Amino acid sequence: MPFQLNSSSQGSTLPRGRGPPQGTATAVGTSPTHTKFLKDMIRAVCGFAPYEQQAMELLKVFKDKRARKFIKKRVRTYICAKRKREELSNVLMNNLQRRNRDTDVENK
């Protein structure tokens, strides 16, 4: 059998070594700073979707489970609903902390 470098019908004839891992699979769970910056900028310009606003109202009155069920109807998966609820509750907490910080500065 002759040696062929580019033989598609016979599969690869040269063993391929495994190089360093590439792509996003190596950085699972990490968010690059530029991507975070872009997401924050888009959120500031576009705001929240109507279903997100309604879910935030539910979270304000401590209806976490109801908010998760409501979001799940919109995004269709339990995991995505939990992630979205956590994201919205973090937004609410950041807004509350910012409001408290601003009132403390005004009182001094």
Distance CA 60, CA 53 (A): 11
Q: What is the DSSP string of the chain?
A: ----SS-STT---SPPPP-S--SGGGGTT---HHHHHHHHHHHHHH---HHHHHHHHHHHTT-HHHHHHHHHHHH--HHHHHHHHHHHHHHHHHHHHHHHHHHHHHH-
Structure confidence at residue 53 as a pLDDT band (50, 70, 90): very high
Distance CA 70, CA 73 (A): 5
CB 91 within 8 A of CB 52: no
Task: Supply the pLDDT for residue 62.
Answer: 96
CB 75 within 8 A of CB 81: yes
Between 15 and 107, name the one with better pLDDT: 107
Residue 6 has pLDDT above 80, yes or no: no
Task: Supply the pLDDT for residue 106.
Answer: 83
pLDDT tens figures, 58-90: 999 999 999 999 999 999 999 999 999 999 999
CB 75 within 8 A of CB 101: no
pLDDT tens figures, 15-36: 566 666 666 555 666 668 888 8
pTM greater than the 0.85 cutoff: no
Task: Supply the pLDDT for residue 57.
Answer: 98
